[in-house]
Amino acid sequence: MSRPRILIDGDTLTLEQILQVARNEVTVELAPEAAARVRASRALVDRVAAGDTPSYGINTGFGTLAEVRIDKKDLRDLQRNLILSHACGVGTPLPLGEARALLLLRCNVLAKGYSGVRPETLALALEMINRDVVPVVPERGSVGASGDLAPLAHLALVFIGEGEAYYQGQRLPARAALERAGLQPVILEAKEGLALVNGTQAMCAVGTLLQLRAESLASLADVAGAMTLEGLLGSHKPFIPEIHDIRAHPGQKDCAAHLRRILKNSELVETHVNCSKVQDPYSLRCMPQVHGAAREGLAFARRILEVEVNSATDNPLVFTETERIVSGGNFHGQPISLAMDVVAMALTQLSSISERRVEQLVNPLLSGLPAFLANSGLNSGFMIAQVTSAALVAESRVLSHPASVDSIPSSAGREDHVSMGMTAALKGRQVSDFTRSCLAIEMLVAAQALDFRLPVKPGKGALAAYELIRSKVPHMDRDRELHKDIEAVTQLVDSGAIIEAVRSATA
């Protein structure tokens, strides 16, 4: 069965399409209008390379060596040496999905027609996506200055038959991976090496997949919070529209509306209409305000990413209309760095308030339920589940220190202010892992609390999540290895099954 196709034109790529490529669900093809721009851009580079006028990166050295002229006979070696020398990445390779996204994003930038690569070089990159040849790219080594130099150099190594690549998931020398896919490496001509390593595509690849995951976790936080609210017999009144209409932050209003849908048709709410409790703790009552603020942060990050993934971030840039090749600073990753820091902080807030709700559930002085939701003192119940959540929140807070305010100059002072955008994206990815675990813990503990409320049932969205969890994890009558239960719920989170079950129940 043939896979759907995405046209790459440099201007209209969506975050959701990037995810499709990351999952290897689609093929890619260069749009005809983009192919024409690439040819025109390359023609201008060829004319400049054939002349004697100095042009950065075409017939000069790089960085602080920009004033060094390069003989025409050495232009190929100049580009090859650039790739080899810049492939300085270390650490764990990017996961396959992120590496596929990186390759796609580089193709999209080249397709804009401001980079000056040859059509055959871009064609190779597109076919690598289609034939599942994925470069091995170490995730550490970028300061986000001239973009993500080291990660992009490792990507470009495969184009010239160097480095390593995965072919259909198997890690091989790059030349062997290309050969198995029926592809041949290219010999880079003037400017092509520089065109392949300048840009923000590594931080955007990690950042895009982080962003989409974070948006899903923001919705899941509402589900977890609603389950906890029902388990604790909390009030639904703080979510009525009138409260949020007079503060009017879109994220807050959206969260409150989502909570109302999840809690609709609750039987539990009827059991405590006339209770003596006046107010719930903030971790319950202020979910729209806290979760909503996180949504606002994620909305900001999405806007930045949507612009960046369709932006020209090369240097120098090739303007065919005016026949100028101009050095600039579009490769600087500051917008992405700041956005990824915001994502990490937004997720940390979601995990932080989630941990406080878990404390409400396991503390008998707060919940009115058995201590740690255990059946007797012989069992510790969910005591350490809260401790694990606290540990993850503590580390997330450390990781939420912003990378975007840091800078270590490089390249002998030429790159004297850098963005640390890849650092921001990588630590945001780690925070998303922790947030996922915290929310899985909360839902697991909340399901146990809801067991104590049976046969009275929670709202239809919370009930759908509860029933799905109970289909995989039984009620805990006596102590068992809780890490297995946490992993089972985590798998439901990762698959999207919980969100889908709630969406179906509340449609």
Tokens representing 199 are 């840009």
Amino acid making up residue 43: A
Q: What element of type H or E holds 107?
A: helix 96-111
| CA distances (Å), origin 490, targets 97, 164, 376 | 19, 32, 27
Cα gap 142→147, rounded to integer Å? 8
Q: Do the Cβ atoms of 309 and 208 come closer than 8 Å?
A: yes
| Distance (Å, whole) CA 463 – CA 467 | 6
Catalytic residue ranges? 56
What is the DSSP annotation of 124-172? HHHHHHHTTEEE--EEE---SBSBSHHHHHHHHHHHTT-SEEEETTEEE
Q: Compute the half-sphere exposure of residue 427: CA atoms within 13 Å on the CB side of its CA.
A: 24
Compute CA distances 462 → 226, 387, 397, 490, 492, whole Å. 6, 24, 29, 17, 15
Q: How far is CA 272 from the centre of its chain?
A: 41
Q: Which of 504, 494, 505, 498 is nearest to 471 (CA)?
A: 498
